Amino acid sequence: MQTRSPLPPGPAEPPFLQAMRFGRDPYAYLEECVRRYGDVFTLRLPGDPPRVVSSDPVVVRQIFALKPDDYAQGLTSFPMNIGENSLLFLDGDRHHRERQLMMPHLHGERLRSYAASMCAAADKAVDRWTSGAELAIHGELQDITLDVILRCVFGAGDDFRAARIRGPLLTWLNGSMTPALFFASALLNANRVRAMLDTVVRRRLAGGPVPRRPLLPWEKWGAAKAEVLEYLREDVERCRKEGTKGRSDVLALLAEARYDDGEPMAMEQVQDELVTLLVGGHETTANTLSWTLYHVLSRPEVLSEIRAEMKRVFGDEPFDPTRAGELVYLDACIKEAMRISPIAPAVGRHLKKPMKIRDYDIPPDTIVWACTALAHRRTDTWGDPMRYRPERFLEAGAAPTNHFFPFGGGRRTCLGMAFAGVEMRIVLARILERTELRIAPGSVVQAEIRGITITPSKGFKLSVERRLPSRSS
């Protein structure tokens, strides 16, 4: 008698081929799996435990309701070497403790103090654009979001400090986001790749020997990240020694932060959390803005309504970035882009304890995936899911957490969600107020994996029809 597998059915092709197909077009591959196996299925990628994937709102709710003891976040399959002290990898009481310490610096009134810097970063980029120019828009948006991080998170607002850190940051980030690293992670196991990169960083920080052979890519990336960590260490030590008068950036605030017992954060903890905010606030925000511009510029009536809303809110007065929260339709446009084109394919939990999903007893050491890319496109939830209709998010009760979760869910919802929301509204409003853009003829817009996110392909370009006069105060 044949024994029933404890896991749902899924593709039978070799794990390497599953990884290749997923990396080439993640949305299409996941949708094909749903058609063939239903809305709970199993993926097998090289070097990792099986992944049980679902977009069923009932199953998504189950995954988000898991208790900290039910899963091991430290085993998260993640290729970027953001540091083992990152919130992403912490479990239990330690995760709760660090999260509570960091949260006030990324929410509430503190966000208002960053609004002017976010607007200035957008203006700095737009000032470079000329009428008739064709923009590789993803790169332009990366410049903006990196500038925001440098100003608001690292406190490197002046040209000298920004110039010192920008080069190493870009070397490390661009290296860590290459498709080659994704496929290496798929072949060798993401955590093994991350450990290899961390070994290079530790050796560089310890002053170890540089290999005599021609500098391999990961040696260059490791050297760059080591330089970033050294910069952060020096600045945190300066803040602790000389004080933080006149500074409101996250680095300065974490340098002075204290736990309930009066102890400061360990240096390694501060460094890793700042690097995590960098990765979360740079690449993911740039990708979301890229997708939003694609969807908005594909629908002239949506763009017209955005401009009409800005006129209603600001009238003939200058744009005020601290009032960007009043742009509710613009916010709906961003959310609708995150629904159709989520930049994270899924939210994962690595099980330590068994979990029952429908009739399946999922064993420990299995990854369960609440699949964002599929949940956001369910016909039974969204009606006509592939139609870009921002009005969905102006309707009451439109997006319960188990239906719409671009920032994750449960106890581990992204800490930078509010920061990213404010930044995206300001940057997008400023770009659309100051320019007339259109999708460049011949642009190819296809989803592809870049490091840890899904981004429009490099063929996506925008044409600057004209740049409009600035109405800044």
| 7 belongs to a structural domain | no
Q: Is residue 10 part of a domain?
A: no
pLDDT band at 2 (very low <50, low <70, confident <90, very high): very low
In a domain, 4, yes or no: no
Q: Is 427 part of any domain?
A: yes
> Average pLDDT of 164-193?
78
Confidence of residue 159 (pLDDT cuts 50, 70, 90): confident
For 272-284, what is each residue's pLDDT tens digit? 999 999 888 888 9
Residue 6 lies in a domain: no
Domain of 59, CATH number, reads: 1.10.630.10
Residue 438 contacts residue 463 (beta carbons within 8 Å): yes
* Mean pLDDT, residues 457-466: 90
Mean pLDDT of 363-389: 95
**Cβ proximity of 134 and 446 under 8 Å:** no
Asked if 147 contacts 161 with a C-beta cutoff of 8 angstroms, the reply is no
Backbone angles phi, psi at 356, to 5 degrees: -95, 125
Asked if 196 contacts 217 with a C-beta cutoff of 8 angstroms, the reply is no
Count: domains in the chain: 1
β-sheet bridge partners, residue 7: none
CA distance 365 to 244: 45
Question: Could you tell me the sign of the dihedral formed by the alpha carbons of 380, 328, 406, 445, in that order?
Answer: positive
> What pLDDT was estimated at residue 433?
95
Answer whether residue 285 is part of any domain. yes
> What is each CA distance from 470 to 98, 112, 293, 311, in whole angstroms?
41, 21, 20, 14
Residues 244-272, mean pLDDT to the nearest whole number? 92
What is the span of the domain harbouring residue 210? 15-467
- Give the pLDDT confidence score for residue 75 in this predicted structure: 83
User: Does the pLDDT value for residue 471 go beyond 70?
Assistant: no
Q: What is the pLDDT, as a whole number, of residue 473? A: 46
pLDDT for 221 beyond 90: no
| 296 vs 90: which has the higher pLDDT | 296
Identify the CA nearest to 281 among candidates 432, 84, 101, 423.
423
- C-alpha dihedral sign at 16, 18, 20, 22: negative
- Does residue 1 lie in a domain region? no
Assigned token pair, 42? 């199993």
Q: What is the 3-state secondary structure (H, E, C) of 207-276?
A: CCCCCCCCCCHHHHHHHHHHHHHHHHHHHHHHHHHHCCCCCCCHHHHHHHCECCCCCECCHHHHHHHHHH
Residue 247 to residue 131: CA distance in whole angstroms = 37
pLDDT score recorded for residue 211: 64
Is the pLDDT score of 204 beyond 60?
yes
What pLDDT sits at residue 1? 40
- The pLDDT, as a whole number, for residue 120 is 95
What was the pLDDT predicted at 454? 87
Question: Do residues 111 and 118 make contact, with C-beta atoms less than 8 angstroms apart?
Answer: no
Give the integer Cα–Cα distance in Å for 295 and 303: 10
Residue 203: band (very low, low, confident or very high) from pLDDT cuts 50, 70, 90 = confident
Examine residue 444 and state whether it is found in any structural domain, yes or no: yes
> Could you read off the pLDDT of 297-330 as tens digits, one per residue?
999 999 999 999 999 999 999 999 999 999 999 9
3-class state of residue 70 by DSSP: helix
